[in-house]
Amino acid sequence: MTSNLSTIQEKARKWLTSSVIDTETKKQVQALLDNSDSRELLDNFYKDLEFGTGGLRGIMGAGSNCMNKYTVGVATQGLSNYLLKAFPNKSVKVAIAHDCRNNSPYFAKIAADVFSANGIEVYMFSELRPTPLLSYAIRYLKCESGIVVTASHNPKEYNGYKAYWNDGAQVVPPHDKNIINEVQTITDFGMVKFDGDPKRIHIIGPEVEEAYYEEVIRVIPKKEIIKKHHNIPIVFSGLHGTGSTMVPECLKKIGFSNVYVVEEQAKADGNFPTVKSPNPEERSAMEMAIEKGKAVGASMVMATDPDADRVGIGVRNLQGEFVLLNGNQAFSLMMWFILKNLENKKDAYIAKTIVTSELVDTIARNYDVACYNTLTGFKYIAQLMGELEGKQRFIAAGEESYGYMVGDFIRDKDAVSACAFFASMTAVAADEEKSLYDWLIDMYVEHGFYKEGLINLVKKGQQGEQEIKAMMHKFRTNPPASISSLAVVRLLDYISLKEQNLKTGETTVLNFPTSDVLQFYLEDGTKISVRPSGTEPKIKFYISVNTTLSIRGEFEAANKKLDEKINQIERYLLAL
Amino acid occupying residue 173? P
Quote the CA–CA distance of 573 and 549 in Å, as a whole number.
Answer: 27
Cis peptide before 174 (omega within 30 of 0): yes
525 sits in which H/E element: none
At residue 414's C-alpha, the angle toward residues 410 and 416, to 5°, is 115
Contact 489, 522 (CB under 8 A): yes
Quote the CA–CA distance of 291 and 123 in Å, as a whole number.
Answer: 40
Kindly name the residue from 64, 135, 152, 424 that is annotated as catalytic. 152
Q: What is the DSSP letter of 487?
A: E
Q: Using alpha carbons, select from 240, 288, 287 the residue that is nearest to residue 267.
A: 240
Rounded to 5 degrees, what are φ and ψ at 189? -60, -20
Amino acid occupying residue 65? N
Rounded to 5 degrees, what are φ and ψ at 48? -85, 135
Quote the CA–CA distance of 455 and 452 in Å, as a whole number.
Answer: 10
**What are the C-alpha distances in Å from 93 to residues 12, 142, 165, 205?**
36, 8, 11, 16
Those residues with Cβ within 8 angstroms of residue 474's Cβ, 6 or more apart along the chain or in another chain:
none
Quote the CA–CA distance of 385 and 346 in Å, as a whole number.
Answer: 16
Q: What is the DSSP letter of 484?
A: T
Quote the CA–CA distance of 210 and 487 in Å, as a whole number.
Answer: 54
Q: What are the b/e assignments for 157-172, b being 16+ CB within 10 Å?
A: ebbbbbbbbbbbbbbb
Is 515 an active-site residue?
A: no
Which residues on adjacent β-strands are paired with residue 353? 374
CB atoms within 10 A of CB 74: 24
Cα 321 to chain centroid, rounded: 28
Burial class (CB in 10 A: 0-12, 13-18, 19+), 18: middle
Contact 349, 373 (CB under 8 A): no
Quote the CA–CA distance of 122 and 204 in Å, as a whole number.
Answer: 9
Hey, which residues are catalytic here? 152
